[in-house]
Structure 1
Amino acid sequence: MTLLKDPPAGTERRGIGSVEVLAAVLILLVIFRGPLSGVVSGPRLQTWTTVFVSVLVQAVPFLVFGVLLSAVIAVFVPSSFWARALPRRPALAVPAASLAGVVLPGCECGSVPVAGSLIRRGVTPAAALAFLLAAPAINPIVLTATAVAFPGNPEMVLARAVASLAVAVLMGWLWLRLGRADWIRLPHRPHHDGASKGEAFWSAVRHDVVHAGGFLVLGAAAAATINVVVPESWLQTLASYPILSILALAVLAVLLSICSEADAFVAASLSQFSLTSRLVFLVVGPMVDLKLIAMQTGILGRAFAARFAPATFALAVLAGTLTGLVLL
C-alpha cells in the first residue's frame, strides 16, 4: 500500500485562483475582441457597458486607496494605538469613530476594507462599522460636492451631514446591542512570519485587491443591469406620490451604486422629486448599494451583510425623511 507523502517544506498545493481566472478572461477578450465588438453594438448593451465601466472607473481608485490604507493599518500601526485613540467605552467609541469619517476623504469602496482592518487590529466592531458608514457620507469632499450640486439649497449640505452622521452612530449603537461576533467572518490573510514589513504590506494589498475587486465587479454588473432594465417612465410616475417617491429614490440609490463623490449631481438632476426624496437618495447611497453589499459580503461575510444592509437601509430612509421634514 502506497502512503501519501506531505509536500516538501516551503511548497503548498495551490488550485486555480481568481488571479488566474481574471488573466484567462482578459486573454479571451483580446482574442475574441472582433466578434464581441459586434455583439455589444446594440443600444441597450452599449448602455450596460457604459454604466458598468463608469461604476468601475468611479470605484476602483477609492478601492485601491482603501486597500492601501487598510494594509498600512494592518502592518505599520500597532494595536496599542487604537486603545489610545478611541475611548475605552464602546458606547463612546462609536460616535468618536463616526466623527473620524469627517477628516478622511474616501468612498464607500475604500471604507469597507478599512473597517475590516480596524476590526483585525482590535477596534470594537461597532466603532469600525460606524466609521464604515460615516466616512463616505460626511467627508469634506462629499459635502463640498453636495454644496456645488445644490447651489440654491445650501441646507442640503447640513441635512445630509446630520442625517448620515445620525445613521452611522445609531447603527453602531444598534450593533452594540444586538450584534454578534460570529456574524463577521473576515477572510483569511496569509501569515508572514519572518517577512519584512514591506513584503507583508504588499502581500496584504494584493490579497485585498483580488478579494474585494471581484465583488466590486459583480456589484457593478448588477448596477448596470438594473440601469438597463428599469424604465425611466416609472420614476416619472412615482415622483407625484410623496411616500412612494421617497421609497423609489431610496431603492434607486441602492440599484444605481453611484460613488458618494458624484451622487449629489445625480440627485440634483432628479428635479421632478422633492428635496426630501433626494436627501434620502443621498443618505442611502453611500451606505447601502449593490457594489457595497457585494463588498461587505466578500470582506465581512454573508451573514453580516444579510443583516447589516437591510437594517442600515431602513434606518437611513427613516433618518433622511425625518431630517428632510425638519430642515428642508
Structure 2
Amino acid sequence: MTITGEIRGRRPRPSPPRWRITSLEVLCAVLVLALVGQDWLASLLLDAPRVRTASTTFVAVCVQALPFLVLGVLISGAIAAFVPASALRRLLPRKEALAVPVAGVAGVALPGCECASVPVARRLMGQGVAPAAALTFLLAAPAVNPIVLVSTAVAFKDAPLMVPARFVGSLLTAVVVGWLWTRFGRTEWIAERALARVRDHDGTSRWAVFAETARHDLVEAGGYLVLGGVFAAAFKVLVPTEWLETLAGQVALGVFVMALLAVVLALCSEADAFVAVSMSTLLSPRLLLVFLVVGPAVDVKLVALQAGAFGRSFAWRFAPAVFLVAIGCAVLSGVVFL
C-alpha cells in the first residue's frame, strides 16, 4: 500500500468540542459582576424609596421560593432517572375513563415541574399508556404535588384555604381535560413521533440522567423565578392602586386578566405562589386562585414544549381547551373554598 493510500485509509480525528457561551455562563457572569459592584449599585439604586420597595419585594420572592424550586428539581431529576415510565402504566386501569382520575391522583406521588411533565407524558404514550391518561398526568403532576402544595401553604400562611382550593381546582382541571379527550380527542392529532415505542433511558446512566435533568430544570426554572421576582417588584411599585381596585370590582374582567397573565408569565409551579401572594393586598383570593390554577396548566413555554413533543396540530387544539377548563375549575373551586 502506498503512502497516499495509507493516508486516505485513515479516519480523520474528531475535532475537539467547541466551548460555547450558554445562559448558565451568562447568569454566573452577571452574578459575579453584581457581587463585585454591589456597593456601587447600592449607592446608585437604593436611594429612591420606590426602588427600595421593589428590591425588597424581588429579594423576598426569590429567597422564599428558591428552596422549594431546588427541592422540586431534585425530585424531578430523581423521578426521571429512577422511576420508569412503565411503573405508572402498570398502576392504571385498562378502561380509559377510569385511568384518567387515577393518573391525576398519581401526580401527587410523582411530582415534577411543567417542563419535566411534557417528556414524561410523551414517554408514557410511547410505553402504551392511553393518551387521555398521559395528558391528565401531564396537567396534574406539576400542579398537585406536595412541593407545590407546601410552597402554597408557606406563601399563603394567612389564607390556609388557598391550599385545598388550589389542589381541587388543579386536579379537577386535569381530570376534566382527560375525560374530554376520551370523548372528543383523536389520535391523529398527535404526531407519530410521540406515539413511537420507547425504552427507559436508552442505556444512559441513571445518575447522568438525574444530574442532567436536575441541572436543566434548575437553570430553566431559575430564569422564570427571576422573571417572576422582577414582575412582582414592578407590580408592587408601578401598577396604580386604582387599576387594581377596578379589576377587583369587575369579576369577569379580573378572572380573564389574571388567567392571561399566568399564561404570559410562565412561572414555575414551585414558585408562583410567592409571586401571587405579593399581589394579595390588592386582589381577592379568588382572582389569585385563577392565576395559580391556570399557570401550571397552560402557558407560553408549555405550548412551545407541547408543540415540539406532540406536534403543532395537537398544541393549538389542546392549549385553548385547557385554558378554558382551568378558568372554569378555578372559579368553581374558589366559590366553594374561598
TM-score (norm. length: structure 1): 0.69
- C-alpha spacing 1:140/1:60, structure 2 compared with 1 (3 Å): closer
Give the alignment of 1:198-209 within 5 angstroms.
Answer: 198-209=207-218
Matches within 5 A, 1:228-307: 228-247=237-256, 250=259, 259=271, 269=281, 273=284, 278-288=285-295, 293=299, 296=302, 300=306
Partner secondary structure for residue 113 of structure 2? helix
Once the two structures are superposed, the pairs formed by residues 1-328 of structure 1 within 5 Å of their partners are 8-9=13-14, 11-41=16-46, 42-102=48-108, 110-119=112-121, 121-123=123-125, 124=131, 125-132=134-141, 134-135=143-144, 141=150, 149-150=158-159, 160-174=166-180, 177=185, 180-182=189-191, 196-247=205-256, 250=259, 259=271, 269=281, 273=284, 278-288=285-295, 293=299, 296=302, 300=306, 311-324=321-334
Percent identical among aligned pairs is: 39
What is the deviation of 1:84?
A: 0.6
Question: Retained in 2: the 8 A contact 1:126–1:173?
Answer: no
Shift of residue 89 of structure 1?
4.8
Measured against aligned partners, the alpha-carbon deviations of 1:69-116 in whole angstroms (never above 9, x if no partner) come to 222222222333122123345544332222234456x7xxx5324413
Distance 1:129 1:135 in 2: 11
Aligned-pair Cα RMSD in Å: 4.6
Per-residue CA deviations over 1:23-54 (Å, capped at 9, x if unaligned) read 22122223332332233222333333333333
Relative to structure 1, the CA distance from residue 284 to residue 210 in structure 2 (aligned partners, 3 Å threshold; closer, same or farther) is closer
Residue segments in structure 1 that go unaligned for 5+ positions in a row: 186-191
* Contact preservation (8 Å) 1:159, 1:279: no
**Does the 8 A contact of 2:262 with 2:294 survive in 1?**
no
**For the residues of structure 2 that align with 1:299 and 1:215, how far apart are their CA atoms?**
15
Higher mean displacement: 43-52 or 308-317: 308-317
Q: Is the 8 A contact 1:284 1:313 kept in 2?
A: no
- The count of aligned residue pairs is 307
8 Å CA contact 1:253, 1:281 repeated in 2: no
Aligned partner of residue 13 in structure 1, secondary structure: coil
Preserved contact between residue 48 and residue 224 of structure 1 (Cα < 8 Å): yes
The answer (yes or no) to whether the contact 2:142–2:296 under 8 Å persists in 1 is no
Question: Aligned partners of 1:139, 1:19: CA distance in 2, in Å?
Answer: 25
Larger radius of gyration: 2
Indicate the larger mover: 261-270 or 17-26.
261-270
Change (3 A) 1:326 1:319: same
CA distance in 2, matches of 1:236, 1:170: 33
Alpha carbons of 1:141 and 1:28: their partners in 2 closer, same or farther (altered >3 Å)? closer
Equivalent-residue separation in structure 1 for 2:335 and 2:25 (angstroms): 52
Amino acid at match of 1:24: A
Contact 2:68 2:151 (8 Å CA) reproduced: no
Using the alignment, how far apart are the partners of 2:89 and 2:38 within structure 1? 53
Deviations along 1:227-279, one digit per CA (max 9) or x if unpaired, are 43321222223433444454455567676969466589668755x85xxxx33
Structure 1 residues 228 and 77: alpha-carbon distance in aligned structure 2, compared to 1, 3 A threshold: same
Kindly tell me: are residues 15 and 167 of structure 1, through their superposed partners in 2, closer, same or farther at Cα, counting changes over 3 Å?
A: same
Aligned-pair CA distance for 1:296: 3.2
1:137–1:286 CA contact under 8 A, matched in 2? no
Aligned-partner Cα distance in 2 for 1:150–1:32 = 40
- Give 5+ residue unaligned stretches, structure 2: 1-9, 126-130, 195-200
SS in 1 for 2:32: helix
What is the distance in 1 between the residues matched to 2:98 and 2:120?
16
